[in-house]
Structure 1
Amino acid sequence: MFLLIPGSLVIGFLCSSVLRPMVDAVPYLFAYVTLTMAIGCGLGQLRQVLRRPGIIGWTFVLTHIAAPLIAYGIGAALFGAHSPYVVGFVLFAIIPLGVSSVLWVGMSGGSVALMLALVVIDSAISPIVVPSGIKLMFGAVVDIDTGGMIRDLVLIIVAPTVIGVTLYELSKGRIQSKVQHIASPISKLCFVAVVALNAAAIEPYVEQLKDDMIRLVPVSILLVAICYALGYFGALPFRNRETLVTVSYASGMRNISLGIVLAMGYFDPLSAVPVVLSILIQQPMATLHHYVLQKLNKPDAGERSPIHVR
């Protein structure tokens, strides 16, 4: 991630004139990435997680209510309530949970099944959560094609998720191991392409950002850190290390590529800038968070060892 994400951003900026005509392919590339995630989750895992509605509901309160309100407050205080940057900060906070969080949860000793199910459920409800959240916070200030956004979210998130879960069930869970050696590398290439194409799309606007970057970068770092902290401290009442690890990563990591797609498709292109910056910050922050978790919350002798995801 440290190499792929910055590298694809650089390629997108340097080759923007060549890549810009292909930007329309982004939703379809992203739909494939979602599909490869969904084939690892079945109805049994979803049912298991639904037996713990308190954790699910609380995670979504932290990620889709508390985090967007904090993002709006910080952005409005520094840039003004009507700034496109504020829309970008809120969009980062309100988009669905990140697929790569599943890997970090596994490496840090959290519940992979819970995290995977949270991602799938959150992706499925995103056509309701994202447009309604933006509309409630900005109202008439931001002119949103709500119908178009819902249609795109269904295309790139909901439909691939449903197809993936269905394939998992029909194959009795065997499909992921059968196709992973092919599907996973292609998924990474699609992810790189999504980032590069969106970088190419915003390249013409970069000249406008020189004076704002001094404030944008620190605020983006602060917001990502706050999202991790929300999950960590919000999960403390559960008094369970596995839950704490899972909820903290769920709160800290967002589906950034989707955020860029929505920012470029439905808002001022400048609103995509905080989302792009978050791409560079989110993964290094995940590494730091992993280190902090290992130091502060070492498994007790009676706990099982962390799950490692191949």
Structure 2
Amino acid sequence: MPSGSKPAEIANGCNRVLERFMPILTPIGVILGMLLPGFFIKLRPFVPWIFGIMTLSGALKLKVRDLGQTARHPLPIIFFLLTARIITPVMVFLLGALFFGSDADTISGYVLIYAAPTAVSGFVWVTIFRGDPALSLGLILLDTLLAPFVVPGTVRLLLGTRIVLDMYGISLSLMYMVVIPTIIGVALNELSRGAAPRIAGPYLTPLAKICMIIVICANVAAVTDQIHFISSRFWIVGAACIFFSVLGFVVGKLAGLLGKFDRGKQVSLFYSVGLHNTSAAMTLGIEFFPGPAALPSVLGIIFQQTIAALMGRVFMGKNPADE
């Protein structure tokens, strides 16, 4: 259906409302996940496919030359690798040691978050704040492909612990969430000579935001049994989790400014450096470390997307949907 039709206009209006209120909708998603865990936990098996819809929504607007342009200009990628893979994990480790002293398990939990690959959900925030979707997808692909080597190396170097990643599981999730949707989206755009995003874009774009809220609900529902509000440790670790999350976004913002990149690339670096796969970090914490090491990742799952929405407003300026 043409983008100028009445249904498309309604869908575009819904998308503008969703973009404007994402800082409110993300904590609502957290609350719903806590209140209705039995319902939303059933959606967990579908999360990779839901992420695929989110990726397809943005990839539909890309062409082969957009991806090629990203590969031909690797400086933003270099800045990302320096900040996300070296600077941020080391900063978190040092500050964690300063804040928590001999509490090695909690320090390990924070390091696991920032050793984990960049989050696929960052792609949605990049589209909301009009970033560079080709760069964002490229960074997600590269970082996830490097994860089986980079994550164990970071953990071994900073924490002295040997871990092994499930390379098959990582590859399969990457295919579902990023590779296949990107190929489909770019192919449809190219084959339709730009008609596909005009026809399907008005409907897929708001759907991607709704998918984001569903993923938040499902992820929070999966960790509700580990949330203990009356525990003082919960609040202390939670406060540090928020601090480190904000710090990650600050580093991402500085990377874009120091590189003197255009706004689109700055947005992509901002979210690629600031957001991490907290679910993967939680899995590693449970499998290779004592129980307390998983708490920072659990709290990261709860807080991360809300912080992403707020930090976007603070550091990236007014959401274009508000203009």
Q: Quick one: which amino acid aligns to residue 144 of structure 1?
A: L
Q: Which runs of 5+ in 2 are unaligned?
A: 1-21, 287-293
Which of 133, 136, 139 lines up with 2:153 in the alignment? 136
Report deviation, 1:12: 0.8
Separation in 2 of the partners of 1:256 and 1:13? 24
2:18 — aligned with what? none
Over the aligned positions, Cα root-mean-square deviation in angstroms equals 3.2
Which of 64, 73, 91 lines up with 2:94 in the alignment? 73
- Matches for 1:3-42 after TM superposition, within 5 Å: 3-42=24-63
2:316 — aligned with what? 290
1:90 — aligned with what? 114
2:5 — aligned with what? none
The alignment covers a number of residue pairs equal to 287
Q: Quick one: which amino acid aligns to residue 86 of structure 1?
A: Y
Separation in 1 of the partners of 2:96 and 2:275? 21
Residue pair 2:37, 2:224 contacting (<8 A) in 1 also? yes
Q: Residue 19 and residue 57 in structure 1: after superposition, are their counterparts in 2 closer, same or farther (change >3 A)?
A: same
Q: Residue 103 and residue 151 in structure 1: after superposition, are their counterparts in 2 closer, same or farther (change >3 A)?
A: closer
2:227 — aligned with what? 206
Separation in 2 of the partners of 1:259 and 1:20? 18
Q: Quick one: which amino acid aligns to residue 16 of structure 1?
A: P
2:167 — aligned with what? 146
Residue pair 2:54, 2:212 contacting (<8 A) in 1 also? yes
Residue pair 2:252, 2:273 contacting (<8 A) in 1 also? no
2:270 — aligned with what? 252
2:244 — aligned with what? 223
Q: Residue 260 and residue 196 in structure 1: after superposition, are their counterparts in 2 closer, same or farther (change >3 A)?
A: farther
Separation in 2 of the partners of 1:116 and 1:136? 29
- Matches for 1:86-235 after TM superposition, within 5 Å: 86-91=110-115, 94-95=118-119, 98-103=122-127, 105-106=129-130, 112=131, 115-139=132-156, 140-142=161-163, 144-207=165-228, 210-235=231-256
Residue pair 2:83, 2:251 contacting (<8 A) in 1 also? yes
Q: Residue 253 and residue 233 in structure 1: after superposition, are their counterparts in 2 closer, same or farther (change >3 A)?
A: closer
Q: Residue 149 and residue 76 in structure 1: after superposition, are their counterparts in 2 closer, same or farther (change >3 A)?
A: farther
Q: Residue 93 and residue 121 in structure 1: after superposition, are their counterparts in 2 closer, same or farther (change >3 A)?
A: closer
Separation in 2 of the partners of 1:186 and 1:176? 14
Q: Residue 255 and residue 66 in structure 1: after superposition, are their counterparts in 2 closer, same or farther (change >3 A)?
A: closer
Separation in 2 of the partners of 1:97 and 1:272? 17
Report deviation, 1:5: 0.8
Q: Residue 220 and residue 253 in structure 1: after superposition, are their counterparts in 2 closer, same or farther (change >3 A)?
A: farther
* TM-score w.r.t. length of structure 1: 0.78
- Structure 1 residue ranges (4+ consecutive) displaced by more than 6 angstroms after TM superposition: 255-258, 306-310
Q: Residue 74 and residue 87 in structure 1: after superposition, are their counterparts in 2 closer, same or farther (change >3 A)?
A: same
Q: Residue 209 and residue 244 in structure 1: after superposition, are their counterparts in 2 closer, same or farther (change >3 A)?
A: farther
Separation in 1 of the partners of 2:68 and 2:216? 33
Report deviation, 1:230: 2.3
Which of 272, 282, 303 lines up with 1:277 in the alignment? 303
Separation in 2 of the partners of 1:58 and 1:125? 13
Q: Which runs of 5+ in 1 are unaligned?
A: 107-111, 295-305
Residue pair 2:189, 2:195 contacting (<8 A) in 1 also? yes
Post-superposition CA distance 1:11-49 (Å, at most 9, x none): 111011232233211111111111112111111222333
Separation in 2 of the partners of 1:156 and 1:256? 19
